[in-house]
Amino acid sequence: MHVEECHVVIVGAGPSGLAVGACLREQGIPFVLLEKSEAVGATWRRHYDRLHLNTIKQLSALPGQPWPEYSAPYPSRVEMVDYLERYAERFRLEPRLGVEVERAYHDGSRWVTRTHAGELRSQALVVATGYSRHPNVPTWPDQERFRGRILHSSAYRSGAEFRGQRVLVVGAGNSASEIALDLWEHCAETTLSVRSGNHVIPRELFKLPAQFNALALFERLPLAVGDRLATAILSRAVGDLSRWGIRRPAVGPGTRALKEGRMPLIDIGTVALIQQGKIKVVPGPRAFTETGVTFTDGRGLPFDVVVLATGYRPGLDDFLENATRYTDEHGCPRWHGAPTPAPGLFFIGFRNPITGQIRDIAAEAPRIARHIQGVN
């Protein structure tokens, strides 16, 4: 087996891995960047066509490269892919594409990263594979009886494919909301299954982007104070949506995002369609039938297609030895952009804070690079 010595190995060439690579490049620290797909930003390339950032471009830039002026205020999926390609070119990151990590472990003195192409030994290992590595696909009783189509949101591209069909979207998050909107815009008969409540935040409130409001409430104020203020503001701006099937959780939006990993729903028009009766809302599924789904409130409805917008799993235990030592009950790292109990091990891009994920990555990457300077 070919063995290569290097200073740093970065696993993943999405926004996180590219950002760390750029920061290391600026400091003159050599590294090897591995990506199992055939291009940078693979996750963004796979997302559905309609996807846009819910955060504004001014606060969604990686270190060293602002968004172009011609970009949309909330960049699209295509614009994000183009941005990441240009970022890799600007900082000469040159990831090794099509190289999947099979195993990574610390041998007592160095990190060993094994791939089908050989073995790398490094002083530091940066895991930047993100929380969207594996689709989370729940199952329900009698699901195999359903004669229609069931797909995870990772396989959804456009509502054009489902024009005129009866589609159930399962989920209460931003992907579920935007997919439901996309389906309605393509003339599908759309129903949204909300299994648990969620906080709803207009993408722009008081003529300001939601991200600005989140920064004002949660960046400098204690979490409990920010939650109380946010709940009071949303009570007036959004109101009680329970009559339309969307309940507000008892836990505040900041606490829920931080401790449960559950992001508020950033509304871009779906709620208005729900209030107008154009998109139906039902509770969580209880079981499938041959022609549809029965729900926890006892009613049953016919469907042709079910889209599961039920999130993802990081899957770190697939390749990282003793991954449970570093992860929580959801499989996400307990350390972010900071040293872990293992020497030279860092995680980045596994959080989705209410103040913006890419903004968070842009803060974590320089910190990791500074810590790596001190790794012998």
Distance CA 330, CA 12 (A): 20
pLDDT confidence of residue 131 = 87
Query: What average pLDDT score do residues 319-323 get?
Result: 95
pLDDT at residue 108 is higher than 70: yes
pLDDT confidence of residue 256 = 87
pLDDT confidence of residue 129 = 96
Where exactly are the structural domains of the chain? 3-133+314-373, 135-308
Distance CA 284, CA 352 (A): 24
The hierarchical CATH code for the domain 135-308 is 3.50.50.60
Q: Which residue's entry shows tokens 């073995």?
A: 119
Q: Which amino acid is at 305?
A: V
pLDDT at residue 209 is higher than 80: yes
Cβ count near 366 (within 10 Å): 19
Q: Which amino acid is at 202?
A: P
| pTM listed for this prediction | 0.92
Predicted confidence (pLDDT) per residue in 30-85, tens digit: 999 999 999 999 999 999 999 999 999 999 999 999 999 999 999 999 999 999 99
- Exposure class string for 336-359: b at 16+ Cβ within 10 A, else e: bbebbebbbbbbbbbbbbbbbbbb
pLDDT confidence of residue 375 = 62
Work out the pLDDT band at 296, boundaries 50, 70, 90: very high
Predicted confidence (pLDDT) per residue in 184-198, tens digit: 999 999 999 998 888
Predicted confidence (pLDDT) per residue in 355-366, tens digit: 889 999 999 999
Work out the pLDDT band at 1, boundaries 50, 70, 90: low
Query: What average pLDDT score do residues 295-306 get?
Result: 97
Which of these CATH numbers, 3.40.50.300, 3.30.70.20, 1.10.150.530, 3.50.50.60, describes 3-133+314-373?
Answer: 3.50.50.60
pLDDT at residue 284 is higher than 80: yes
Number of DSSP helices (H) and strands (E) in the chain, helices first: 9, 21
Integer angstrom CA distances of residue 158 from 46, 68, 76, 193, 311: 12, 27, 14, 19, 18
**215 against 248, higher pLDDT:** 248
Work out the pLDDT band at 346, boundaries 50, 70, 90: very high
Nearest to 131 by CA among 311, 287, 300: 311
Query: What average pLDDT score do residues 173-188 get?
Result: 96
